[in-house]
Amino acid sequence: MAVDIDFPSLPKQRVPRFVLSPRRILADVLSKGWVESLIPFVALLCVVAGVLATTNGYFEGSNLRNLAQYAADGGLVVLALLVVVAVGGIDLSVGSNFAMSAFVALFCFHILQLPVPAVLLASLLAGATIGAVNGFIAGLLGCGALLTTLGTMITTRGLYTLASQAQLVEISSSARIDDLWDWIGFEKVLTLPVGFWALAVVAVLVLIMFRQTRIGWHILAVGGNRKAARHGGIRVKSTIFFAYVLAGVIVGLSGFLFAARQNSVGSDTGIGMEFFVLTALVVGLGGFVPGRGAVVSVLIGFATIYILNNAMINAGFRGDFVQLSMGAIIVVILAIDVKFRKNRHRLLASTYLDPVSFDAGTVEGMRGLMPDETAPKLKDARILASGRVDGPEDVLLDAAGNLYCGTRDGYLYRLNAPDHAEAEVLAKIGGRPLGLALDREGRIVACVAGMGLVRVTMDGQVELLTDQTERSLLSVQDDTTIRMADDLDIGPDGTIYFTDATKRYDIENWGLDLLEGRPNGRLLSYDPATRRTRTVCDNLVFPNGVCLAHDGKHLLVASTWDCSILIFDLARLSDGPRVLLSGLPGYPDNINRASDGGYWVALAGMRNPVFDEAMRHPGVRRRMTRHVPPTNWLFGNLNIGGVLKVDGAGKVVDAFWDAPDGPLYMITSMREHEGELYLGGVTNDKIGCLKLDKADPTWRGPESYWGGRS
């Protein structure tokens, strides 16, 4: 019955290894998270370049070591402030806290003569205490962070002044010498000062906290949206309290390092520090942005301010002039950054669509079969479940004749045999269920756009099989997520072959993929035994319907915009596809087996001369998407479609159309069952059923795959 497919004699389909396009690379880079810190980074580069141009030997090893030595305490305080800002607060008391912690360290070391680890502990405790006071008032009591920390700033400064005046003489006259104390203050490890390593370790820990730990995520969630965080079950008040305490501890560490290095404090210690670190933070974050734990960004901002300040003072400018220029430069950096952030999404939106010239070839093999050349055969179809199913992209029949279809609202419906009149919910999946198939055990495997591959048992249990595949090597964008699983079929060994129609657009925007005309899709496989997902063939042009050939050895894949049907040899998948059929008159969607050894091909829409011409003009399409409202974009005609009957060798032998204003105006799927053809359409709300003249009245789809009669 089935015709042997002469695979080697079919023409090869060229599949690009990768898609290289400057516009795409720009768009992909713009959509990366790290682009947020682009402007601070560029600012840092500019500052470094400026310093290089105006000084000699600034970036020599000795000076860099020197810079690193003094950077530690400021850098740590910036990180402390980041933690507080991330939770949605602010801490003005960091400068006073810093001075107080340094004093506590000196007091414990010189007066109390405690061992150095105990001194460290005391400093951290001092910092934590002030943080806890802030956290208690601002977090637990809910007073304003600004007022609270202003209060603690003044109070702590007062305490510090009293304490330091009382003890300063004794501290400075102390003769205690300790190796560990001096090692922390002056020694270098791997050529860099100990303090700098402390900064690096704390930075990594804070980074890990924000990225990987529960409390870090809670801090970001509370900062991002306090109300939502509370609704999400996060203990908001204690999270804020914790953030202040943590910030206090980091400031305490900073004060300890300062004390070990300087061995003294002065009345001006830590004065103005809060404004210095606030500036660094604002430059790094591009403003006061709660809910963002961008450690690298704020360190870049800190480095910018620190080097700028240091270089200007080194150059011998007057202090007030340095302040004036710093202010002006920071305002410029911030202005550019704010503009960039504001327009980044606009820039991304205008570069994301990247059309290319595309030619689907002329229509072939349709003589006498076009809609205006034949009688509309679908006019005779019965209409089932009219108005009860919203967008049945695929229809599926089990051996008993029950019909299944997915709908736009994420349900899988069952229409019971024999009359298929009522639609009942089999399962709620979510996403947008598209292609369906029955596996050997009689379970439904569904491609769900926005979710991936899902398996549904006949009692409605839903299991996600896969939603990710391997990342392709040469792409800036992370393409591991399966964005638009479209259709599938199951091989004799149980391997599920399915298509991810486009890696670049979601189900709401799949039309843009047509306007782009690039090979954005891929054929994937999922092995239920190993639970492994593989990319069988990347860079296909909107691969859509998948059908295992009657011989069980080949796989048919519809390439929708290419208006062609590709064929893979399952034994040699790596050889790539060949073209079984090209020059279709419309956009092929699902493919399914016919009882006579041929195949049914659904056409979701029809080509027309003007649109084919527009596909050869990428610039027109790109400008159109910029200047014309989306509703007015020129598009493929998805208002008319039909079904083609293809024989086993890949020749179109018949075509089924409805009248142009008929109920089955576009078809995305069809299944033959006991001499009848069931038809579904992704924009329709009904299912058609057409009695076939020359079909085997006993043929059923599942038995053609898995054999036997149930």
Partner 1 sequence: MMSIFRSRRQEPPAMTLEGMLGPNGRLDDAAGMCVDAPDALCVNADGRLLVSSGTRVMALGAWGEEPLVWASFDAPVTALCHGGGLVAVGLAGGSLAVLDATGRPHDGWSLPAGSVASVVDCAFRSQDEILLVDCGYGADANVLSQAAWDEEPRGQLIALRRSGQPSVVAAGLHCPMGVALDAKGSALVSLLERARIVDPSGRSLQSGYPGYLGRLRRTGNGYVLACLSRRNPLIEFLKTERAFVAEMKAKIAPRHWIAPRASPEFSHDFPIELGATRLFGEIKPWAPSFSYGLLIEMDESLMPVGSAQSRANGRRHAICDATVWNGALIAVSRASGEILKVGEAA
CB of 322: closest distance to partner 1 in angstroms?
A: 47
Of 494 and 660, which has the nearer Cβ to partner 1? 660
- Residue 560: which of 598, 600, 511 has the closest Cα? 511
CA-to-CA distance for 672 and 702, rounded, in angstroms?
11
Of 8 and 387, which has the nearer Cβ to partner 1? 387
Of 6 and 372, which has the nearer Cβ to partner 1? 372
Of 199 and 664, which has the nearer Cβ to partner 1? 664
Positions touching partner 1 (CB under 8 A) are: 370-372, 387, 511, 585-586, 606-611, 613-614, 617, 620, 623-624, 627-640, 657, 660-663, 665-666, 683-686
Cross-strand bridge partners of residue 521? 540
CB of 379: closest distance to partner 1 in angstroms?
A: 14
Q: Tell the residue number behind the tokens 């329709």, with chain if given.
A: 684
Give yes or no for a contact between 311 and 304, defined as CB atoms under 8 angstroms apart.
no
CB of 664: closest distance to partner 1 in angstroms?
A: 8
- Residue 105: which of 243, 298, 263 has the closest Cα? 263
| C-alpha torsion sign, points 319, 321, 322, 326 | positive
CB of 623: closest distance to partner 1 in angstroms?
A: 7
Of 63 and 637, which has the nearer Cβ to partner 1? 637
CB of 630: closest distance to partner 1 in angstroms?
A: 6
| C-alpha torsion sign, points 36, 37, 38, 43 | positive
CB of 655: closest distance to partner 1 in angstroms?
A: 11
Q: Is the peptide bond before 418 cis (omega within 30 degrees of 0)?
A: yes
Residue 215 buriedness (CB in 10 A; 0-12 / 13-18 / 19+):
middle
| Paired tokens of 287 | 């403003």
Inter-CA distances, 708 with 219, 399, 440, 674, Å: 59, 10, 11, 15
CB of 517: closest distance to partner 1 in angstroms?
A: 15
SS3 87: coil
- Residue 376: which of 588, 642, 592 has the closest Cα? 642
Of 656 and 657, which has the nearer Cβ to partner 1? 657
CB of 613: closest distance to partner 1 in angstroms?
A: 6
CB of 355: closest distance to partner 1 in angstroms?
A: 13
**Which stretches of 439-550 are assigned E, i.e. beta strand?**
444-449, 452-456, 462-466, 485-490, 496-500, 521-527, 532-540, 543-548
Of 264 and 509, which has the nearer Cβ to partner 1? 509
Of 215 and 634, which has the nearer Cβ to partner 1? 634
CB of 235: closest distance to partner 1 in angstroms?
A: 46
Of 124 and 515, which has the nearer Cβ to partner 1? 515
SS3 632: helix
- Residue 80: which of 99, 94, 101, 95 has the closest Cα? 94
| Paired tokens of 448 | 């769900």
Of 9 and 632, which has the nearer Cβ to partner 1? 632
Chain-centre distance for alpha carbon 329? 34
Give yes or no for a contact between 691 and 675, defined as CB atoms under 8 angstroms apart.
yes
SS3 394: coil
SS3 190: coil
Of 657 and 699, which has the nearer Cβ to partner 1? 657
CA-to-CA distance for 603 and 665, rounded, in angstroms?
10
CB of 657: closest distance to partner 1 in angstroms?
A: 8
